[in-house]
Amino acid sequence: MIGVYTNTTPVDAYRGAGRPEASYLIERMMETAARQLKVDPAELRKKNFITAFPYQTPVIMAYDIGDFHASIDAAMKAIDYAGFPARKAKAKASGKLRGIGVSCYIEACGIAPSKAVGSLGAGVGLWESAEIRVNPVGTIEVLTGSHSHGQGHETTFCQIIAERLGVPISQVSIVHGDTDKVQFGMGTYGSRSLAVGGTAIVKAMEKVEAKAKKIAAHALEASESDIVIENGEFKVTGTDKSIALPMVALAAYTAHNLPDGMEPGLKETAFYDPTNFTFPAGAYICELEVDPGTGKTSFVNFVAADDFGRLINPMIVEGQVHGGLAQGIGQALLEGAVYDDTGQLVTASFMDYTMPRADDLPSFQLSHTTTLCPGNPLGVKGCGEAGAIGASAAVINAITDAIGNNKLEMPATPDRVWHAIHG
Amino acid sequence: MYETTYHRASSIDDAVAQFAKGTDSKFLSGGQTLLPVMKQRLAAPSDVIDVAKIKDMIGIDVSGDTVTIKAATTHYDVAQSEAVQKAIPALAHLASMIGDPAVRHRGTIGGSLANNDPAADYPAAVLALGAVVKTNKRSIPAEDFFKGLFTTALEDGEMITAVSFPVPAKAGYAKMRHPASRFALTGVFVAKTKAGDVRVAATGASQSGVMRVAPIEQALKANWAASALDSVTIPASGLLADIHGSADYRANLVKVMGQRAVTAAG
Ligand SMILES: Cc1cc2nc3c(=O)[nH]c(=O)nc-3n(C[C@H](O)[C@H](O)[C@H](O)COP(=O)(O)OP(=O)(O)OC[C@H]3O[C@@H](n4cnc5c(N)ncnc54)[C@H](O)[C@@H]3O)c2cc1C
């Protein structure tokens, strides 16, 4: 391998960094193999799926759980895979080349056990931190090291806490990105925020709840083990005795009547270092038409069946998948940094660089199959990059299927596709 | 952007007079080309003379066999005009395909023609329909107006006031959009005049800007049908080549867009 320094950089770290490339190569190879073996591409993948877990790969990753058959079955059903040959024939009658392309991905998210990344040469540990402050009036502030720059942590993280305590989501606020306030953290990337940052929040919550239960038990003259948290109240099971969260918080700060030796206040911190990566996986199928006169690709349908473990906020997950798919499709069809022979960037403006726009994209059909992640208490895996990882191979597999020529580079511009058809 | 002085002209005469006063004046119409170029500091006019608010510069008039579009009429207004849709539907369609809604609501036919971008849409219609470009000084037939990339017959300080299009018997426009800019990667306008002549112009294709396409004209003269172009080959020499389209791809597009334009014309 040769490494060079250059200031004519073609790409930089990108949504999914490393996984889109790997997944693209594997899924193009699977497709090519299926075509050469004359086996249905979906069938060939099914034959090769891992079905027993945990599964130690030859490299560091040990897959904890998954159900890849469930994903591909859901995707095939959603796109009516069986009906494709008839649709292809119909399209041909109107002069269009129709193709279908499958892409199955698995990725490692929830990065990462610090020990594991250390052994791979990382310069940092990849834990995450959370601090939870229950204020004297019972409102809750969560300070997280997972910065939110559009991923909606302000909603998802608040939901976790609101659901645990049974309080309205408006009682909870998220503080992030302010280094004057927030303790040291590792950040948002690698689809890790919920699996690692969310788990740090859960760990800090467990400490907060344990202390609050002690205070409630003391105030209610009950045994700590009899205290349950429901609808924002600490209740003594089997009785009608209860104390509301704000009163517990107030008691913690007035400190007039705390159990002997207890520190005042209700604020806890946790640093969480995961024990394994998480492994989101899924199956994408793309159906499209190529205009043989111009080489232009038009989408007919794009289905995604993902397994992200438990979904805390399905709408945010959907938004993440949409964005990821748009990026993956952008890579497959539109985007590319081009320099001329003198090193001049030719794609320096959006008049030349094709950023995907809404009308370049199909209406996505999303669905989910679920295996809960055993590695964290939330059962979550991560959803931020999946779309970008799985989409491009599905698109190129579909175009090459449509045109009957397997040699095609990304971005598959109309010019390139037309040349692939006509030579 | 470098400093400049803005003038809003009240009439065509006022605009021409204001233009003459500046050391390096430019007319400003929709600003969709001039302003980005000024922002990039590729143009630095001393004075910009806004012609887009002049009453005599805006509007569409259909009389007899002529459609006259005044120079500061926006692409949007041409696309939406019922009169244009009825008289030359291909022209309204062409205007509806320019850029995006923001560009169409600002950009104007006069600005587009004065700029003569080799991938602009209007030049194809003007040349294929044999339109006449009217200025404050004279009338310039389409044949004499376009002089190559970003170059026209306009003299310094000469201002386009309107464009007159003869209503054809049939016309059609088909465009392959540039994926990023939405200009024409290649666009072809085909027209059959009421006298029975066939004129075809392609934009986005040639290194010297909008051009007539003789092989397609000949084939369509013999037989006005998309299939008449099946055996036509367009030479790739002299055609544009860039990251979005090689010369042979554009040569193919001239033919394919030609066929689709004929189909659209009916
Ligand atoms: C994102 C984007 C996409 C676009 N897509 C397309 C497309 O698909 N197809 C297409 O054809 N165009 C496209 N354009 C260009 C658009 O149509 C512009 O409107 C047009 O090129 C210039 O018209 P304007 O009225 O904005 O002129 P301005 O920008 O105001 O002026 C352009 C030039 O013409 C001169 N000028 C203006 N008016 C007159 C006049 N009356 N007499 C003499 N000189 C004059 C100016 O001095 C200047 O040099 C696009 C532009 C953008 C920004």
**In terms of C-beta density within 10 A (0-12 exposed, 13-18 middle, 19 or more buried), how is residue A397 classed?**
buried
Quote the tokens at residue A47. 């034959």
At residue A13, the pLDDT reads 80
C-alpha span between A124 and A184 (Å, rounded): 12
Sheet containing B184-192: give its strands across: B170-177, B184-192, B198-203, B211-212
Instruction: Decide which of A238, A272, A306 is a domain's last residue.
Output: A272
The CATH homologous superfamily of the domain defined by B170-265: CO dehydrogenase flavoprotein, C-terminal domain (3.30.390.50)
Whether A355 and chain B come into contact, CB under 8 Å, resolves to yes
Q: Do B256 and A295 touch (CB under 8 A)?
A: no
Measured in degrees and rounded to the nearest 5, phi and psi for residue A367 equal -150, 170
Determine the average pLDDT of the residues in B201-205: 98
B199 CA distance to ligand 1 middle (Å): 25
Same domain, A296 and A260: no
CA-closest candidate to residue B37, choices B73, B75, B4: B4
Q: How confident is the model at residue B208 (pLDDT cuts 50, 70, 90)?
A: very high
B176 CB-near residues (< 8 Å, 6+ apart): A294, A296, A414, B184, B185, B186, B187, B204, B253, B256, B257
Instruction: Decide which of A272, A294, A309 is a domain's last residue.
Output: A272
Whether A348 and chain B come into contact, CB under 8 Å, resolves to no
Number of domains composing chain A: 2
Residue A294 has its nearest CB partner, among B242, B243, B256, at B256
A3 CA distance to ligand 1 middle (Å): 46
* C-beta atoms surrounding B157 within 10 Å: 16
Is the torsion defined by CA of A87, A364, A397, A79 positive or negative? negative
pLDDT tens readout for residues A12-30: 788 999 999 999 999 999 9
* C-beta atoms surrounding B7 within 10 Å: 19
Quote the tokens at residue B20. 């003459």
Determine the average pLDDT of the residues in B63-83: 97
Domain over B5-50 is classified CATH 3.40.50.1980: no
B52 CA distance to ligand 1 middle (Å): 12
Min Cα distance A30 → chain B (Å) is 30
**Residue nearest to ligand 1 atom 10, measured at CA:** B120
Residue A127 near residue A191 (C-beta atoms within 8 A): no
B181 CA distance to ligand 1 middle (Å): 13
- Eight-state DSSP code of residue B229: G
Q: Do A350 and B253 touch (CB under 8 A)?
A: no
CA-closest candidate to residue A103, choices A299, A281, A278: A281
C-alpha span between A235 and A245 (Å, rounded): 10
**Residue nearest to ligand 1 atom 32, measured at CA:** B111
* Cross-strand partners of A301: A287
Quote the tokens at residue A12. 């930089």
CA-closest candidate to residue A368, choices A287, A301, A285, A303: A303
pLDDT tens readout for residues A302-331: 999 999 999 999 999 999 999 999 999 999
Ligand 1 neighbours, Cβ below 6 Å, are B 26-34, 36, 51, 71, 98-99, 103, 106-108, 110-112, 114-115, 117, 120-122, 154, 159-160, 181-183
In chain A, what residues touch B180 (CB-CB under 8 Å)?
Answer: 334, 350-355
pLDDT tens for chain A, residues 1 to 423: 899 898 888 777 889 999 999 999 999 999 999 999 999 999 999 999 999 999 999 988 999 999 999 999 999 999 999 999 999 999 999 999 999 999 999 999 999 999 999 998 999 999 999 999 999 999 999 999 999 999 999 999 999 999 999 999 999 999 999 999 999 999 999 999 999 999 999 999 999 999 999 999 999 999 999 999 999 999 999 999 999 999 999 999 999 999 999 999 999 999 999 999 999 999 999 999 999 999 999 999 999 999 999 999 999 999 999 999 999 999 999 999 999 999 999 999 999 999 999 999 999 999 999 999 999 999 999 999 999 999 999 999 999 999 999 999 999 999 999 999 998
At residue A60, the pLDDT reads 86
Nearest residue of chain A to residue B33 (CA atoms): A351
Same domain, A136 and A198: yes
Min Cα distance A92 → chain B (Å) is 18
Residue B206 near residue B240 (C-beta atoms within 8 A): yes
Same domain, A85 and A141: no
> What percent of the residues of chain B are helix, what percent strand, and what percent coil, each to the nearest 5?
35, 25, 40
Nearest residue of chain B to residue A333 (CA atoms): B179
- List B residues 155-184 in contact with A (Cβ-Cβ < 8 A): 176, 179-181
A40 CB-near residues (< 8 Å, 6+ apart): A34
B110 CA distance to ligand 1 middle (Å): 8
Same domain, A244 and A317: no
At residue B231, the pLDDT reads 96
Whether B193 and chain A come into contact, CB under 8 Å, resolves to no
Whether A329 and chain B come into contact, CB under 8 Å, resolves to no
E strand or H helix that includes residue B132 = strand B132-135
A421 CA distance to ligand 1 middle (Å): 36
Determine the average pLDDT of the residues in B43-72: 97
CA-closest candidate to residue B89, choices B184, B200, B163, B173: B173
In chain B, what residues touch A353 (CB-CB under 8 Å)?
Answer: 180
E strand or H helix that includes residue B95 = helix B89-96
Same domain, A152 and A252: yes
Q: Where are the domains of chain B?
A: 5-50, 57-166, 170-265
Same domain, A123 and A160: yes
pLDDT at B237 over 80: yes
At residue A7, the pLDDT reads 87
Whether A163 and chain B come into contact, CB under 8 Å, resolves to no
Same domain, A190 and A244: yes
Residue A24 within any structural domain of the chain? no
Residue A5 within any structural domain of the chain? no
**How far is the CA of A54 from the CAs of A63, A104, A371, A382, in angstroms?**
5, 19, 13, 19
Min Cα distance B242 → chain A (Å) is 9
Same domain, A137 and A208: yes
**In terms of C-beta density within 10 A (0-12 exposed, 13-18 middle, 19 or more buried), how is residue A37 classed?**
exposed
- For residue A156, what are the domain limits? 114-272
Tell me, what CATH number does A345's domain have? 3.30.365.10
Quote the tokens at residue A82. 């069986």
Whether A237 and chain B come into contact, CB under 8 Å, resolves to no
Q: Do B243 and A351 touch (CB under 8 A)?
A: no
**Residue nearest to ligand 1 atom 51, measured at CA:** B32
Quote the tokens at residue A270. 């946790």
Whether B195 and chain A come into contact, CB under 8 Å, resolves to no
C-alpha span between B122 and B143 (Å, rounded): 14
Instruction: Decide which of A249, A272, A295 is a domain's last residue.
Output: A272
At residue A12, the pLDDT reads 79
Residue A396 near residue A410 (C-beta atoms within 8 A): yes
**How far is the CA of A64 from the CAs of A67, A110, A118, A279, A373, in angstroms?**
11, 12, 21, 7, 7
* Cross-strand partners of B50: B8, B28
Q: Is the ipTM of this complex over 0.85?
A: yes
Rg (C-alpha) for chain A, rounded Å, is 26
In chain B, what residues touch A295 (CB-CB under 8 Å)?
Answer: 249
In chain A, what residues touch B260 (CB-CB under 8 Å)?
Answer: 293
CA-closest candidate to residue A413, choices A353, A342, A349: A353
Whether B245 and chain A come into contact, CB under 8 Å, resolves to yes
**How far is the CA of A51 from the CAs of A48, A70, A308, A386, in angstroms?**
9, 11, 17, 21
Ligand 1: nearest atom to the Cα of B35: 29
C-alpha span between A17 and A388 (Å, rounded): 9
C-alpha span between A241 and A247 (Å, rounded): 14
CATH number assigned to the domain with residue range B57-166, chosen from the 4 options 1.10.10.10, 3.30.465.10, 3.30.70.260, 3.40.309.10: 3.30.465.10
Identify the residue whose tokens are 């044999």: B130
